[in-house]
Amino acid sequence: MTVTTTTGLSLSDVCLSFGDGDSTVHALDHVDLEVAPGELVAIVGPSGAGKSSLLAVAGGLSKPSSGTVKVDGIELTALDRKATTKLRRERIGFVFQSGNLLPALTARDQLLLVEKITGRKGRNPDELLASVGMDHRADRRPGQLSGGERQRVGIARALMAGPSLLLVDEPTAALDRKRSHEVVELLAKETHASEVATIMVTHDHEVLPHCDRVLEMVDGRLRPHS
Ligand SMILES: Nc1ncnc2c1ncn2[C@@H]1O[C@H](COP(=O)(O)OP(=O)(O)OP(=O)(O)O)[C@@H](O)[C@H]1O
């Protein structure tokens, strides 16, 4: 295992290609990215630009064609499948568009399930639910929650194991304007308080002022958002 003293997320000269010959798609084209602990970075860009590919590679769900990905200085790209899964469970949190909660579980049980999966004691679920403003809904199932509330529970669940990296895909897609601002404000607050390195992919330009940095992805390349 290659470990350096770097923390947060580091992508160095990362490429991800699909297909070969004339039909090759360069989903990621020599991407360099550093996200520090406690920093919320937004990624915007047109459809097909490579944003989901970036999240997949950063989260160890896809192996890049070349380049290195490090989380907390651990080189993800050098790990085998089992070690990648372990690192993902312990150090990476994911938040998806719809919250991706299990329908049968209460909000509290969604968080407690993380402890069962990782086999490690996580953060206190009730404190975490309180910090996302959901302590009064701890005993409700997803079907009894609003879209914004489900998203809050999804964020709390992603933070349960105390991750170093949080990967967030279109968290406001199903929300109205007010709820969108609230959810991204909450993400910024938790990113800073928990000192987690967060990447949020979004099409929602209204929420960008809540982010510490905004980058634009075009044709698999990252550049500062103008
Ligand atoms: N498994 C795959 N096989 C072949 N091509 C793929 C695959 N996954 C993604 N691509 C291609 O890689 C490019 C980047 O796709 P990606 O899903 O990362 O874009 P995106 O920016 O997330 O798009 P959107 O905003 O529409 O979700 C696209 O051209 C896409 O068609």
pLDDT tens-digit readout, 72-86:
999 998 999 999 999
CA 196 – CA 162 distance, rounded (Å): 8
Residue from 51, 61, 221 to probe ligand 1 pocket by mutation (most atoms less than 8 Å from CB): 51
Return the residue whose CA atom lies nearest to atom 30 of ligand 1. 48
What pTM was computed for the model?
Answer: 0.91
- Look at residue 97 in the predicted model and tell me its pLDDT: 75
Q: Which tokens sit at 44?
A: 């915007």
Count other C-beta atoms under 10 Å from residue 223's C-beta: 10
Task: Answer yes or no: is the C-beta of 25 below 6 A from any ligand 1 atom.
Answer: yes
Q: How far apart are the CA of 10 and the centre of ligand 1, in A?
A: 21
Q: How far apart are the CA of 62 and the centre of ligand 1, in A?
A: 12
Tell me if residue 62 falls in helix, strand or coil.
Answer: coil
CA 107 – CA 148 distance, rounded (Å): 13
Q: How far apart are the CA of 140 and the centre of ligand 1, in A?
A: 36
- Over its C-alpha atoms, the chain yields an Rg (Å, rounded) of 17
Give the CATH number of domain 35-61+90-224. 3.40.50.300
Q: How far apart are the CA of 137 and the centre of ligand 1, in A?
A: 36
pLDDT at 158 over 80: yes
163: Cβ–Cβ under 8 A, 6 or more apart, which residues? 90, 91, 92, 93, 196
pLDDT tens-digit readout, 5-53:
468 999 999 999 998 878 889 999 999 999 999 999 999 999 999 999 9
Task: Answer yes or no: is the C-beta of 198 below 6 A from any ligand 1 atom.
Answer: no
Return the residue whose CA atom lies nearest to atom 3 of ligand 1. 18
CA 224 – CA 80 distance, rounded (Å): 33
191: Cβ–Cβ under 8 A, 6 or more apart, which residues? 38, 39, 40, 166, 197, 198
For the chain, the domains span: 35-61+90-224
Task: Answer yes or no: is the C-beta of 15 below 6 A from any ligand 1 atom.
Answer: no
